[in-house]
Chains A and B, each alone.
Chain A
Amino acid sequence: MPSFLDLKGYGHLLIDGAMITLSVGVAAMAVALSLGIMGALARLSSHAALRGLGTTYATVIRGIPELVLMLLVYYGGTVLLQWLLSLGGGDVRVDLNAFLAGTLVLGFVYGAYATEIFRGAFLAIPKGQVEAAHAYGMTNGQVFFRIKLPQAWRLAIPGLGNLWLTLLKATSITSVIGLTELARQADLIKAPTKMPFTVFFAASLLYLAMTAISDLVRIRAERWASSGFRRS
């Protein structure tokens, strides 16, 4: 390990934290992508109720800070579960799993942004293609999986790359509910090392490494996605 990351023997904890940062980021991204596709389909649906649900989700969640949502779900969820379990009698202590809570909240928040990204992508697919597919006798499901989704992915890639970069940085918020990811580990070792600046700077370099690599992958993915498209 490079010596500047040794931090009086505590440095490896930052690496451990970075691994958890990546795990919670990837897990939340999976949740966000699923919710994003469902949210976009709901927003574009012909059912008014579904449309309302999708629009409300995307509108409300993007208007509230992720920190507030994180605290609401974690502490609110604890109170709720405690109450539910106490119905059976007795005093119960509940500790929500921070990894699960963090993943779900981040996935839920960024799912709202993903909804908008996928909605834009679905809208960008020419209507004529869908009509042509229907004219060939494809079912709605076939049109979705063969015509819409493959193209939507490609159109959504620039937006999704940005989503991942933002989400990756936002995982630092999970430190407030006690998940020992990178920011929390740095917070924990700042006192025993007596080098708060060095510790947080080392942590920021680890984040920077993760975002820089992600950014390179994003650029490659965008190039791949736009191959075959002529720029107007």
Chain B
Amino acid sequence: MLGPFDLALVWSSLPELASGLVVTLQLTLLTILGGIVLSVPLGVLRTAPSKWVSGPIWAYTYFFRGTPMLIQLFLIYYGLAQFKAVRGSGLWFILREGYWCCLIAFTLNTAAYTIEIIAGALRNVPLADIEAARAMGMSPFAILRRIKFPIALRILFPAYTNEVVFILQSTSLASLVTVMDLTGVARVIIARTFSPYELFITIGLVYLALTYLTLWGFRRVEAHLYRHLRGRPVAVVEGPALR
């Protein structure tokens, strides 16, 4: 049953794995986009002085950061069917699809972490810079756009790079709700051929390459964006870190 590493099987599985890779990349990209759309405005509001504004956002991020992504996915994929209103609604054709449930769950999850990353960066913008902008007569919105955002972006870049890698790897959970991503495809082939080694090692190497390619790409962008700051100490992202 166990022979040498069956390269022929890996080779013949490549077309299927490639289709899974496309789904993995799609899920990652859409999750990131959705996460940014949600987290930029909410991240700003998270720093609002009023507890009535920042409080509910804190509750949201606390829940999503304090519970496993798997449970969040199941809550949406299996959970929503409990409600007649959802089953009867026009959105049901979307909400019963594993793919869409993944997008929703992953987006809500990454948004929660990204909101805290953004809020943390905004709080660390030097007060002197903001005061200078105020003295120049900038409006609060202009200060946000021209002073706070650019400086915060520089601060949050390493943490956000790490978040993207985390999302990339977490999309493998999609295979648990029938999505044919890289992991999903591998599991189907394994069920057919009973060769866990070949397939899991192959996709493991693909994830490994994607992870370090992402880190490398983001580092390049960071180096390019902040080339005028060369010489200042920058946080070096050597590998994935914890969120």
Contact = CB atoms under 8 A, between A and B. Distances in A.
A83 B71 contact: no
Interface residues of A, number: 52
A60 interface: yes
B67 A204 contact: yes
A208 B112 CA distance: 15
Interface string A159-173: 100110010011111
B131 to A, nearest CB: 23
A75 interface: yes
Contacts of B241: 113, 116
B122 to A, nearest CB: 21
A67 interface: yes
Query: Is chain A's binding surface mostly helix, strand, loop or mixed?
Result: helix
Interface stretch (B11-19, B46-54, B146-154, B193-201): B193-201
B207 A64 contact: yes
Interface residues of B, number: 47
Interface string B57-75: 0000011001111111011
Contact of B74 (A62, A64, A173, A200): A200
Given A69-B204, A116-B239, A116-B241, A183 B71 contact: yes
Contact of A187 (B74, B175, B186, B240): B74
Interface string B204-227: 100111011000000000000000
Interface of A: 58-60, 62-69, 71-72, 75-76, 79-80, 82-83, 86, 113, 116, 159, 162-163, 166, 169-173, 175-176, 183, 186-187, 190, 194-201, 203-204, 207-208, 211-212, 215
25 contacts: A59-B239, A60-B208, A63-B208, A63-B212, A63-B239, A64-B169, A67-B172, A67-B173, A67-B183, A68-B172, A68-B203, A72-B197, A76-B200, A113-B242, A116-B238, A162-B242, A163-B242, A169-B67, A171-B68, A198-B82, A201-B75, A204-B67, A207-B71, A208-B63, A208-B66
